[in-house]
Amino acid sequence: MKYGVYSAILHDRPLPEALSVIKGLGLDAAEVNVGGFLPPIHMPTIDDILTSDDARDDYLGTFAEAGVELVGLNANGNPLHPDSEIGPSTLADIERAITVANRLGQTRVVTMSGLPGANASAPSPTWIVNPWESSHLDILEDQWDRAVPVWRDLDRLAADNGVQIAIEMHPHNLVFNPATLERLVERIGATNVGAEMDPSHLFWQGIDPVAAVDHLGELVVHAAAKDVRINEAAKIHGVLDDRHTRFTGDRITRLRGGAAINKWPEGSAWDFVALGRGHDQDFWNRFVAALARVDPDMAVHIEHEDESLGRIEGLETAAEVLLTAARNT
Q: What is the mean pLDDT of the chain?
A: 95
According to DSSP, residue 261 is labeled: P
Residue 251 above 70 pLDDT?
Answer: no
pLDDT at 246: 83
Q: Is residue 171 part of a domain?
A: yes
Residues shown for the chain? 329
pLDDT at 241: 84
Q: Is residue 57 part of a domain?
A: yes
Q: Is residue 88 part of a domain?
A: yes
End-to-end CA distance of the chain: 10
Using CA atoms, how far apart are residues 117 and 234, in angstroms rounded to an integer? 29
Q: Is residue 218 part of a domain?
A: yes
Backbone angles phi, psi at 164, to 5 degrees: -100, 130
**Count of domains forming the chain:** 1
pLDDT at 257: 74
Q: Is residue 246 part of a domain?
A: no
Share above pLDDT 70 across residues of the chain, in percent, rounded to a whole number: 99
SS3 string, 36-96, reads CCCCCCCCCCHHHHHHCHHHHHHHHHHHHHHCCEEEEEECCCCCCCCCCCCHHHHHHHHHH
CATH for 151: 3.20.20.150
Least confident of 86-90, 133-137, 257-261: 257-261
Query: Can you give the pTM of this predicted structure?
Result: 0.95
Share above pLDDT 90 across residues of the chain, in percent, rounded to a whole number: 89
Over range 236-251, report the average pLDDT: 81
Over range 110-127, report the average pLDDT: 97
Q: Is residue 245 part of a domain?
A: no
Q: Is residue 31 part of a domain?
A: yes
- Could you read off the pLDDT of 187-197 as tens digits, one per residue? 999 999 999 99
Residue 260 above 90 pLDDT?
Answer: no
pLDDT at 245: 80
Range of the domain at 204: 2-227+273-328
Position 135, amino acid: S
Residue 256 above 90 pLDDT?
Answer: no
**Mode of pairing for the β-strands spanning 299-302 and 270-273:** unpaired
Q: Is residue 264 part of a domain?
A: no
